[in-house]
Amino acid sequence: MVAQNAAAMWNALRGIVCVYKPAEASVRKLRRDLIMKICKGLNEVDENQYYRPFKPHTSNATELIQQSVDRSVDLRDHPLVYGPKFDELDLSLSWSNFLGWNTSGVLLFGLRSGTQSARYIRENRSSRAYRIKGVFGQATDTGFKNGKVVERSTWRHIKPFHFDKILSAMQAAHQKKMFEMSGIDMQSQLAYELAAQGPIRPINSKLPIIYGIKCIDYEGPEFTLEIQCINEYETYLVGLIHEIGVRLHSTAHCTAIKCIRHSYFNLDHALLSRHWDLKNILQNIRMCNRILAENEHVLKQTSIALR
C-alpha cells in the first residue's frame, strides 16, 4: 500500500495531517519535530538513489525524478558532501488551528500544498469542541494550575443545579450575541430566515462565540465542562472558567484544556507523536483528505450557517 520509493512518498506528502498535541509543548516545537521526522524517514527509504532536480528551495518543485549518477566521476551528490537528500527547509508545513502551551488535543497541520487547505480551514472558521477541567475554591494569577494561588474561597455551597443555571444563562447570552454579530437587523425577514437555519457563524474571526456549554462532571471541587465554540483561544477559555467561578460566588481555576474536536476531526484521527513515521503519516493524510472530500464545505463555505 505504501510506496517503497522516496520520490513517490515525497509526491504523496500533500494535504492535511491530524496530530495529537500534548499539553506543555508548543505548536512550533511539534511542527519542527514533525518536519524532522518526515525528512529523516524519507532519507532512510532508499539511501543509494539520487533524485533530480535538487536545488535549494525546492519547496515548490512539483515532481521529483529518479536519476542515476555515476558516483566515481561526479562526487557532488555524494551523501557525505551534499548532505541528506530531503532537506528540512524544503518541506513546508503550517498549522490550521493554534493551540496554546497548556492546551492538548487535536491539531491540524497542512503539508506542502496542503498548507493552502490548512489556511482555508482556518479562514472558514469551523467550530471546535473543548473539554475543560477546573477546580473551585482557588484562584491563581495565571488562571491555570501552574500559577500562584492568589485567592481562596469556599465552594461547598455550589450545587449542580446552580452550575447548570449559570451555564445555560451564559449559553443564551452567547446565542443572542451570535445574531447581533452577524450584522443583520434583528427585525428583518433575513434575520428570521437565518434563525430558521439554526446557529450561524460570526462575521469576524476575532470574536469568540460559544454555541454550547455544559457541565459533564461535577465532583467535589473538581468539574469538567464541554464547550462547543468558534474563534476561541486559550486565554479566553481560562478567563471563562474564572468568570464562572466568580458568578457562582466562589473562585475557580483551570487544570486542563483539551481540544476534542476540530470541524470533522476528532481524537480518533489524531496521531500520537510516537506514531509519527512515514507510513502512519501517509495513511493519516489519505484519511484526512477523504474526510475533506466528503465534507466540501470545510474548505469552501457558501453559507453563514454553522455546519
Partner 1 sequence: MFPCILKQVTKNRTAVKRGYSTFKEVEKNSTSVTEMIKNELSLLKDGNIESTDRPAEKLLSTKESRETSIEPSVDYVKTLNQSTVRDYTGVYPYVKQGSVFASSINESDFLKELLKLGVNFYELERNLETIPFILGLRFEDVKDHIIFLRELGLEKHIIGQIITKNPFIFKEDLENLNVRVNYLQYKKFTNNMILRILEKNPNWLSYSTQDIDNKLGFFQNNFNLSGDEVRFLTVRCPKLITYNPEKIKLNIFVLKEEMGLLQEEMKKVILKKPKIFMNGQKRLLNTFDYLHNTMKIPIETIVEIPEILTCRQSRLKQRHLFLEKLGRAQYNPKKPNYVALASLVADSDSNFATELAKSSITVYNEFLKSL
Q: Which residue's CB is nearer to partner 1, number 171 or number 255?
A: 255
**Shortest Cβ distance from residue 126 to partner 1 (Å)?**
21
Q: Which residue's CB is nearer to partner 1, number 20 or number 136?
A: 20
**Shortest Cβ distance from residue 167 to partner 1 (Å)?**
23
**Shortest Cβ distance from residue 226 to partner 1 (Å)?**
14
Q: Which residue's CB is nearer to partner 1, number 267 or number 287?
A: 267
Q: Which residue's CB is nearer to partner 1, number 76 or number 300?
A: 76
**Shortest Cβ distance from residue 57 to partner 1 (Å)?**
8
Q: Which residue's CB is nearer to partner 1, number 57 or number 300?
A: 57
Kindly report the three-state secondary structure assignment for every residue of the chain: CCCCCHHHHHHHCCEEEEEEECCCCCHHHHHHHHHHHHHHHHHHHCCCCEEECCCCCCCCCCCCEEECCCCCCCCCCCHHHHCCCCCHHHCCEEECCCCCCCEEEEEEEEECCHHHHHHHHHHCCCCEEEEEEEEECEEECCCECCCCEEEECCCCCCCHHHHHHHHHHHHHHHHHHHHHHCCCCCCCHHHHHHHHHCCECCCCCCCCEEEEEEEEEEECCEEEEEEEEECCCHHHHHHHHHHHHHHCCCCEEEEEEEEEEECCEECCCCECHHHCCHHHHHHHHHHHHHHHHHCHHHCCCCCCECC
Binding site for partner 1 (CB under 8 A): 20, 22-25, 56, 74-78, 80-84, 87, 89, 104, 256, 267, 270, 272, 274
**Shortest Cβ distance from residue 80 to partner 1 (Å)?**
5
